[in-house]
Structure 1
């Protein structure tokens, strides 16, 4: 069994109040808009990290990370990218990746809106963890935590923190 923390849209700022969740994680999955390499490297102090770059990430981050990754965790396959949907339905490359790889879990970021649902058509759990940083339209900072136990996803929790800006940043 692996304990996973999913995070996105940190934009160079990760609140210290998230540290206790990072320390419990076997893996942290970051769905892009990290902000800078310092922020990415700070996550590596707490757990193994799988991450993709987002639309605001600079060339340094883009040279270190991929736009989209496909990987396994326990007996689940995961597809992670920053922008998961285009304005024109079924019109972008991610739909081709979904058709080709048939992931069990699809992780995205970008919208700053936390959303978790099961896509019956593609038979996959879709997770957008919202935004964990200070920049953007969101009212609270959010991350998603869950366990993967072979075929099962268990103990899915949403962690919300107040949006107050503070110097309590790990990056």
Structure 2
């Protein structure tokens, strides 16, 4: 299964995102959506699981849950916007991947048998940080992750 992971769009959905996500079977958005129409556009590509971030204070985005868990191809994915708000022990809960955003810094890290993935920011560039998303290939053999630079 091919999964697209995006975060921190802040109201901007770049055409490069749509190209990079073409062919994914599910999309995970780790918050700071900024405009609910972004989720509508992403749903034209694949089903979307999305959470709210700290900027999603008004409108439809404010109605998104602060965290969510979804099982995809037999693996549990836990979405939380900021790792500082992680309210479970992912290893004990059987979570395979924790998806976060907030920092705008792309990162892939393994801790206690759990993969932590921050796809970075796909929205407006912040400082000198890259504009990125991530792709996950998940199957019964495991999980492979790659970061995709958009610009």
TM-score by length of structure 1 reads 0.80
User: Which structure has the greater CA radius of gyration?
Assistant: 1
- Equivalent residue number for residue 126 of structure 2: 136
Alignment length (residue pairs): 150
Aligned partners of 1:112, 1:74: CA distance in 2, in Å? Answer: 27
Whether the 8 Å contact between 1:76 and 1:151 is mirrored in structure 2 is no
Aligned partners of 1:48, 1:110: CA distance in 2, in Å? Answer: 22
Q: Find the residue that maps to 1:140 and give its secondary structure.
A: coil
Whether the 8 Å contact between 2:69 and 2:78 is mirrored in structure 1 is yes
Whether the 8 Å contact between 1:7 and 1:129 is mirrored in structure 2 is yes
- Equivalent residue number for residue 11 of structure 1: 10
49 and 138 in structure 1: CA distance in 2 versus 1, 3 angstrom threshold: farther
- Equivalent residue number for residue 138 of structure 2: 148
Q: CA deviation at 1:15?
A: 1.1
- Taking only aligned residues, the RMSD between alpha carbons, in angstroms, comes to 1.7
161 and 96 in structure 1: CA distance in 2 versus 1, 3 angstrom threshold: closer
Structure 2: unaligned runs, 5 residues or longer: none
Q: 1:21-170 maps to which residues of 2 (within 5 A)?
A: 21-60=20-59, 61-63=61-63, 65-85=64-84, 94-96=86-88, 98=90, 101-120=93-112, 123-154=113-144, 156-162=145-151
Whether the 8 Å contact between 2:105 and 2:129 is mirrored in structure 1 is no
Aligned partners of 1:33, 1:97: CA distance in 2, in Å? Answer: 23
26 and 138 in structure 1: CA distance in 2 versus 1, 3 angstrom threshold: farther
